[in-house]
Amino acid sequence: MFISTERTRPKPWSESRGEARHPLMVPVHWLEWASKWTVYWLSGSAVLEVLEYVGTLSIVFGVISYFAESGDRVKQKHYQAWQVINTAAGKGGSGGRIDALEELNQDNVPLVGVDVSDSFLQNIDLAQANLVRSNFSSSDIRGGRFDSARLEFSDFASANVRNGSFRKATLQGVTFQDADLNGADLGGADLTGANLSGVDLRNADLRDIKWQSIANIKSANIYGTKNASADFIHWALQNGAVSTANNED
């Protein structure tokens, strides 16, 4: 410790004064000499040593308290994130919801039933999120990432998910009715019971999708889909899908 360090007794002033190389430096040298004596006298003070111990202990207790309260800080952060999401419900724009949703997902907080309909959430990253029964209807989520997410019975009706990614996502019972999935990546997604009626699937990647139990694909546009199996193409066209370069045709 600094205060309790044993110190050498300073020289008397009669000896130290001669060390000043210039008369003008005598006052400065005297101040240095006086400071050395002050430190020497105080170094043996038990009161100051106790105070130094108290200061050290306060730092230790502060560190312990910081880590002990980390759980409360995380809860407060989650509470604030949910406030942002719920306050902006039903409103357009982002309203801070992108950061709030991503932070909650990064902390593995379930986002079951979250309602972000009519919102602007371009390029949001909710990979591996638990979004069961969530509502993204009429939202602009172009470039959104939902890889390996749980999205059972979620609502994406009329949503713009162009160039989005749903690789290996669980999309059982999802409603994509009239959604824009042009250029989206659905590789390995489970579409069991999904409603794809009126969906724009042009240029979408459909590699290894589970399509055999899709509930509705009527009027979906599958023009230019990538890596789709011949069986899927045949089944889709037989069940009301179309294949036209212009989605308005």
Instruction: Reply yes or no on whether the pLDDT at 172 is more than 70.
Output: yes
In this prediction, residues 74-100 reach a mean pLDDT of 84
Determine, yes or no, domain membership for 83.
no
pLDDT in tens, 60-79: 666 666 565 556 678 888 98
Query: Is residue 103 domain-shared with residue 51, that is, in the same domain?
Result: no
Residue 221: how many other CB atoms lie within 10 Å = 23
Identify whether residues 247 and 132 lie together within a single domain: yes
- Cα distance between residue 133 and residue 114, in whole Å: 8
For residue 80, tell me if it sits in a domain.
no
Whether residue 97 lies inside any domain: the answer is yes
Do 49 and 100 lie in one domain? The reply is no
Asked whether residue 43 falls in the same domain as residue 98, the answer is no
Is residue 124 domain-shared with residue 221, that is, in the same domain?
A: yes
Is residue 73 assigned to a domain?
Answer: no
> Is 4 within a domain?
no
pLDDT at 33 over 80: no
Tell me: do 97 and 150 sit in the same domain. Answer: yes
Residue 100 one-letter amino acid:
A
Same domain as 126, residue 48? no
Instruction: Look at residue 92 and tell me whether its pLDDT is greater than 90.
Output: no
Which domain range does residue 35 map to?
Answer: 13-68
> Are 144 and 40 part of one and the same domain?
no
pLDDT band at 87; cut points 50, 70, 90? confident
Return the percentage of the chain with pLDDT > 90, whole number.
60
CATH classification at residue 161 = 2.160.20.80
Provide the pLDDT for residue 139. Answer: 96
The mean pLDDT of 131-138, rounded to a whole number, is 97
Q: Let me know whether 247 and 143 are in one domain.
A: yes
pLDDT band at 54 (very low <50, low <70, confident <90, very high): low
What pLDDT was estimated at residue 35? 76
135: helix, coil or strand?
Answer: strand
**Do 118 and 226 belong to one domain?**
yes
- Are both 153 and 195 inside the same structural domain? yes
| Same domain, yes or no: 19 and 97 | no
Give the pTM. Answer: 0.71
Q: What is the pLDDT of residues 15-25, one digit of tens each?
A: 665 666 666 66
User: Residue 111 domain-assigned?
Assistant: yes
| Number of domains making up the chain | 2
Position 121 confidence tier, pLDDT thresholds 50, 70, 90? very high
Decide if 5 is inside a domain: no
Split at pLDDT 50, 70, 90, the class of 31 is: confident
Please tell me the least confidently modeled range out of 48-57, 104-113, 136-145: 48-57
Judge contact between 96 and 88, C-beta under 8 A.
yes
For residue 139, give every residue at least 6 positions away whose Cβ sits within 8 Å of its Cβ, in sequence order, or none.
116, 117, 118, 119, 120, 121, 156, 159, 160
Q: Which of 41-55, 99-113, 169-183 has the lowest mean pLDDT?
A: 41-55
Q: Residue 45 above 70 pLDDT?
A: no
* pLDDT tens-digit series, residues 213-245: 999 999 999 999 999 999 999 999 999 999 999
DSSP of 188-245, one letter per residue?
Answer: T-B-TT-B-TT-B-TT-B-TT-B-TT-SB-TT-B-TT-BS--HHHHHHHHHTT-B--S
Task: Find the mean pLDDT for residues 46-61.
Answer: 63
Q: Tell me what pLDDT residue 69 has.
A: 55
Q: What's the confidence (pLDDT) of residue 208?
A: 97
86 assigned to some structural domain: no
Average pLDDT, the chain: 85
